Amino acid sequence: MIISLRRFEWACRAGVSGAAIVSLSLGVGGCAGRSDPDAFVASDSTRAMEELRFLSSDSLEGRRTGEPGNAMARDFIVAAFRDAGLQAPEGGFVQPFEFTPRRDTTRVIQGANVVGYAPGTDPAAGAMVLTAHFDHVGVRDGEVYNGADDNASGTVALMSIARYVVKSPLRHSVVFAALDGEEMGLQGARAFVAAGWPGNIVVNVNMDMVARSDSLLFASGTYHYPQLRPFLQSIERRGPVVLRFGHDQPEVEGVEGEDDWTNSSDQGAFHAVGIPFVYFGVEDHEDYHRPTDDFERIDPAFFINAIRTVLAGVLAFDEGLGGVPSVAGTESGEVARQQARAEDVATIDGIIKAYYDVVSGPAGESADMERDRTLHHPAAWVAIANVDSAGKPVVNVMTLDGYYGDNAPRAEGFWEWETDRVTQRSGNMVHVWSSYATAREQGGEPYARGVNSITLFYDGERWWVMGWMFDGSAG
C-alpha cells in the first residue's frame, strides 16, 4: 500500500496510535515547563489515601445529600480546593441548588456542588470540566454506607489532579466540580450544566468508582464521541492500568452485551446538551451500594495508578483538543481571518488550491503550517481512516496542530495536487471529493493517488476548511 508523505509522516509522529499529540508518556516527564505527572501522583499518594480514609469514614454517615455528613464532606472539599490554590467562580466555591426528589414530590432537598478552577494559558482554548460526585446513600437500617469506591475515590482523584494542575497550568482552563446529588438522579450535574460556565466546554471528564479492580479501568464515551478516542489510545498501551473502551453503546434487546453507562453517572447531564465526555470507572463489584464499600477494601495500588491514568488522559486532551466552536470574537479566529491571503479564501477553487500548496515543497523545507492555519476554522478537525492489525476499520480524529506535530523539514521533495473534483453544495456548506496525485518533484510522475473528503463553510466573507478525511488503507 502506498500513501502520501503527508499522511505517512503523521503516522510516524503519532506512533500509529491515533494520538494527535503528546510528548507525554506515563513514567516520563511531559511538556517543557510541566512537572512529571507520575512523580507528582506518587508524591501525593499518601495524602490521597488519607483523604479517602476520611471521606469514607463512619463520621460522615454516608454523605447523603441534605444531611450533616454530606455538609462535612463538602467543607472538607472546599478546604482542599483552597489549599490546592484553585480559584473560586462567581458566587464562591459552594454552589447551592435545590430539587424535588423523584419518590417524594412534597419535599425540597438542598444540595450544593463545590466548584473551583485553574485558568489556562490559552484563553481561546476553552475549558475542560472534571467531575466526581461526593454524595452517597447515607445510613440504611442503622448501617452506614460509606461509599469508599462510590465515590469517595473519584472525589479524591479530582482533588489530587487539581493540585497537579495548579502547579503545572494547562493550555485549557480546568474546572473541578465535586458534584452533589448524583445518587438522587444526577441533580448536581444537572444544576451545573443548567447554570452554564463562562466560555466553551470542550470535554467533560467524569470519575466515578476508580479504586476497586484487579487491573481494569474503563473509559466510556468514545462510542458517542469518537474524536476523543485517539487521545486515550495514546496512553492506552503505556498506562499503569488496563484501559478499556466500552459501556457506552445502546443495549439491543435480546442481545447480551455490556451495560450502557452513558447516563449512569454525572456525564449524562453533559451528554444531554452535546458536551463530549469520557467517564472513567470500574465495573460494579460485590460491595457496590452495600455497607461493605469501606476504605479497608480499596486497592491502594490500583487507585493511585487510576489517578495517574486519568491525569494522563487529561493531559492528552489538553495537548490535542481544540476549543473554539465559532470564529466570531475569538483571538485565533480573528488572526486567521486577518492573515489569510485573499486569493486563498475568496473562492472554493482558491481554498482547494491552497490546501494542496501548503504541504508541497522541496526537501529540507517544512510544510507551510502558518498559511494552513489561515485556511482552517479554529475548530477544524482532521480524520484518518485505516485498519488495525486485526483488519478492523478504525478512525483517528485530531486537530490540525496535532496532525502536524513538530512539522519537521521534509527528507525529500513532496508535491501534491488535485486531479479531479466532485462538489456538492447546500446553502453555505460545501462538500468536496478531491482526488489527488503525489510526486517527489514538481510536475513529476505520481507515485501515489488518493481522495480527500473536505468540508467547507462560507461565513459571508470567506471560505473555511471545517475538516477533512482520507482513508489511509485505500490505494
CATH number of the domain at 163, please. Answer: 3.40.630.10
Residue 267 in any domain: the answer is: yes
Looking at 278, 297, 320, the residue that finishes a domain is: 320
DSSP string, 238-255: T-SSEEEE-S-SPP-TT-
pLDDT of residue 272: 92
**In terms of domains, do 120 and 218 share one?**
yes
**In terms of domains, do 131 and 252 share one?**
yes
**In terms of domains, do 184 and 272 share one?**
yes
**In terms of domains, do 273 and 421 share one?**
no
Q: Which domain holds residue 336?
A: 5-11+325-471
Cα–Cα dist 380/394, whole Å: 20
**In terms of domains, do 330 and 309 share one?**
no
Residues of the chain with confidence (pLDDT) below 70: 1-34, 237-239, 251-258, 322-338, 388-389, 402, 405-406, 472-475
Residue 18 in any domain: the answer is: no
pLDDT of residue 386: 78
**In terms of domains, do 301 and 368 share one?**
no
pLDDT of residue 2: 31
pLDDT of residue 258: 67
pLDDT of residue 322: 67
Cα–Cα dist 54/76, whole Å: 9
**In terms of domains, do 283 and 378 share one?**
no
pLDDT of residue 11: 35
**In terms of domains, do 293 and 388 share one?**
no
Residue 273 in any domain: the answer is: yes
How many domains would you assign to the chain?
2
**In terms of domains, do 315 and 329 share one?**
no
Cα–Cα dist 160/311, whole Å: 9
Residue 286 in any domain: the answer is: yes
What residues have CB less than 8 Å from 373, skipping those under 6 apart? 336, 400
Angle between helices 68-84 and 154-167 (to 10 degrees): 20
Q: Cell 458517542 sits at which residue?
A: 224
pLDDT of residue 7: 38
pLDDT of residue 22: 29
